[in-house]
Structure 1
Amino acid sequence: MAIRSYPNANRAYVVQAFVVASALVFTGCASTEKRAEASAVDTLSTDVSQVDPFEDFNRSVYAFNMGLDKYLFKPVADGYKFITPDFMETGVSNFFSNLKGINVVLNDVLQGKFQQSAADAGRFLTNTTIGMGGLIDVASEFGLHHNIEDFGQTLAVWGVEEGAYLVLPIMGPTTLRDGGGLIVDKAANPGTYVPGTEILEGISDRANAEGALNFINEAALDPYVFTRESFLQYRRHLINDGKHDSSHYALEIDEVVEASADLNVDQADANERVAETNDPMENTHQGASESADGEVVPVSAFDNMVQSFEEAMLKIDQYHAAPKRSRRI
């Protein structure tokens, strides 16, 4: 499946990860009823047990990868960024992105996207010739945007199920389906057969991913869970051509809407009580702000949101502190 990608694909990935994390946080903040919270936890636990049945193994590999990154990959990537001019970094990144164009065209055809395959073939030929072997992304200036296609997405189009979530040594997060597709993608990439090419590509990718990794480590309460959910949402976004599939959400839409409605009702009652007990003008200055069209907007909702957020963080801490047997299904 396809989605347009612009020069800094890793930055788009960070945005995607941030959106996923924000959705999870604010969904938790919206839960005000104990019954809704219990239902959400049960649903989430069941979903996790199905998606990530090898969590203990995956966490071990994830910790290994993080240690390897800290003591090997990051120092090498930092040295690469220090000695390499920015324009050369961009050229190397463009080169490897263009080289994957062969895989993109192949999977376009396998998915029956013949019109897109023609456009992607034109992009590859344009950058390979005019763009000096792909070092310069000329095709984007001509309106031929880069599409992300791989054999894992092709298998999804053919009806192959996603399978369990896996974390592979060095390779990182994947699924059973995408891991199998990776073998075909490697075989179809000419760079696989040139010694040293994959090492240089890995260094370039690690250098470009610096911002994303820093964001995850600083913002996530549990980097492993953050990485897993972000990766799965990102892959499903690609497979569905950017169309959302609600069947993969951990919380039911009706539960989220009901919880949000309860929050709004509670806030409306609080505002009404304030309006009855306080002077209208005083309430306007202390408990509300006036919008551009003259509508009075209560600002106490922000305070309630902050309190709810703190309560949610406390519950997450208690969840991680609980014995494994009591929080596993």
Structure 2
Amino acid sequence: MLRWRWLLGGIFASSVLALSGCATVNGPGSGTSGSGRPPLQTFNHTMFHVNMGLYDYVLEPVSTGYKAVTPGFVREGVSNVFSNVGMPYIFINDFLQGRVQQGMEDLSRFLVNSLFGVGGLVDVADKLDLPMHDNSLGVTLGVWGVPQGPYLVLPFYGPSSLRSLPGLAMVMFTGPAYYLTSTPAQYALSGMGVINTGYVDGPKIRMVQEAVDPYQFMRNAWEQHEQYLISGGVVSKSQLLEGLSLPPPTGTTPAGNESSVNTKGKH
């Protein structure tokens, strides 16, 4: 279990970096340093390009090879299994947020797929119209009123924030790899998870890379998605477009006069 201590040490080291950035912030929620620059901007830009390089030169070639040698139904099964093993982290946060109905749906989804879907290999819950939600401890803290703090790009992990850092430890402790007693099995499961993530998230990463300003696009998209989850899916049309720096569609009402729309289940 030594490597988990190293990982936790890295998380706390990132926390120290974030806190050092907070020391120069012009007050709570200002989002800028004394020089007018967002805190941690240099660090974030560096880590963003490091992560993109890792994807281009390591993860994407591996994912391409994985796709080439693995039948589609196998890839789908693997994705289903990893999606299912992540459900406890999601429904625990559902309940912590007081979203009982959503929590029961996610708990039911986990139980149905675990019992009748061969450990999640087959997505039986989808055929029963049990929706799949996204959630995290960072969202839970946001629901509880904890401010986001500085935006932070983590090595290998990607976009995050000071508020979201404790969620990384919770992901580990609710994941199956942590409880395996065999070190080779832990490495195999973790490695397969990384390959599957690269395969599943590949289209999203390529979309980010094609943006005019990839770093800003990813930051806006992450922060807007986080706010979307905190609000329970209630956002205004202008907020969705503003977050991605897109122009409003023709015929939309001016900001401030429009009503909020519930996009839950459509995101």
- Is this a same-fold pair by TM over 0.5? yes
The one of 213, 223, 227 aligned to 1:236: 227
Q: Distance in 2 between matches of 1:207 and 1:47?
A: 37
The one of 41, 45, 57 aligned to 1:71: 57
- Contact 2:117/2:123 (CA < 8 Å) preserved in 1? yes
Cα pair distance change 1:186/1:132, threshold 3 Å: same
- Contact 2:96/2:140 (CA < 8 Å) preserved in 1? yes
Cα pair distance change 1:52/1:87, threshold 3 Å: farther
- Contact 2:159/2:219 (CA < 8 Å) preserved in 1? yes
Give the equivalent residue in structure 1 for 2:205: 213
Q: Distance in 1 between matches of 2:100 and 2:231?
A: 18
Q: CA deviation at 1:191?
A: 3.2
Q: Distance in 2 between matches of 1:209 and 1:113?
A: 27
Q: CA deviation at 1:116?
A: 2.7
Give the equivalent residue in structure 1 for 2:146: 160
Structure 1 or 2: more helix by fraction:
1
The one of 129, 132, 140 aligned to 2:118: 132
SS of aligned partner of 1:72 = helix
Amino acid at match of 2:59: F
Q: Distance in 1 between matches of 2:239 and 2:206?
A: 31
Q: CA deviation at 1:47?
A: 7.3
Q: Which runs of 4+ in 1 moved over 6 A?
A: 245-251
Q: What is the CA deviation profile of residues 89-123 of structure 1, one whole-angstrom value per residue up to 9, with x for unaligned ones?
A: 11111111111111122112211223332222221
Cα pair distance change 1:161/1:198, threshold 3 Å: same
Q: CA deviation at 1:202?
A: 1.4
Amino acid at match of 2:69: I
Amino acid at match of 2:199: A
Q: Does 1:49 align with 2:35?
A: no
Q: Does 1:62 align with 2:48?
A: yes
Gapped regions of structure 1 (runs ≥ 5):
1-45, 262-329
Cα pair distance change 1:47/1:225, threshold 3 Å: farther
Q: Distance in 1 between matches of 2:179 and 2:48?
A: 28
Gapped regions of structure 2 (runs ≥ 5):
1-28, 181-185, 254-267
Cα pair distance change 1:165/1:235, threshold 3 Å: same
Cα pair distance change 1:115/1:248, threshold 3 Å: closer
Q: TM-score with structure 2 length normalisation?
A: 0.71
Q: Distance in 2 between matches of 1:80 and 1:101?
A: 25
Give the equivalent residue in structure 2 for 1:116: 102
The one of 177, 199, 202 aligned to 2:191: 199
Q: Distance in 2 between matches of 1:247 and 1:174?
A: 20
- Contact 2:31/2:150 (CA < 8 Å) preserved in 1? no
SS of aligned partner of 2:98 = coil
Larger radius of gyration: 1
SS of aligned partner of 1:167 = strand
Q: CA deviation at 1:61?
A: 1.0
SS of aligned partner of 1:129 = helix
Q: CA deviation at 1:216?
A: 2.2
Cα pair distance change 1:223/1:85, threshold 3 Å: same
Amino acid at match of 1:102: P
Q: TM-score with structure 1 length normalisation?
A: 0.58
Q: Distance in 1 between matches of 2:44 and 2:81?
A: 32
Amino acid at match of 2:113: N
Q: What is the CA deviation profile of residues 106-161 of structure 1, one whole-angstrom value per residue up to 9, with x for unaligned ones?
A: 11221122333222222111100111110111011112111212211111111111
Task: Report % sequence identity.
Answer: 37
Give the equivalent residue in structure 1 for 2:170: 184
Q: Relative contact order (alpha carbons < 8 A, sep ≥ 6): 1 or 2 greater? A: 1
- Contact 1:164/1:176 (CA < 8 Å) preserved in 2? yes
Q: Distance in 2 between matches of 1:215 and 1:74?
A: 14
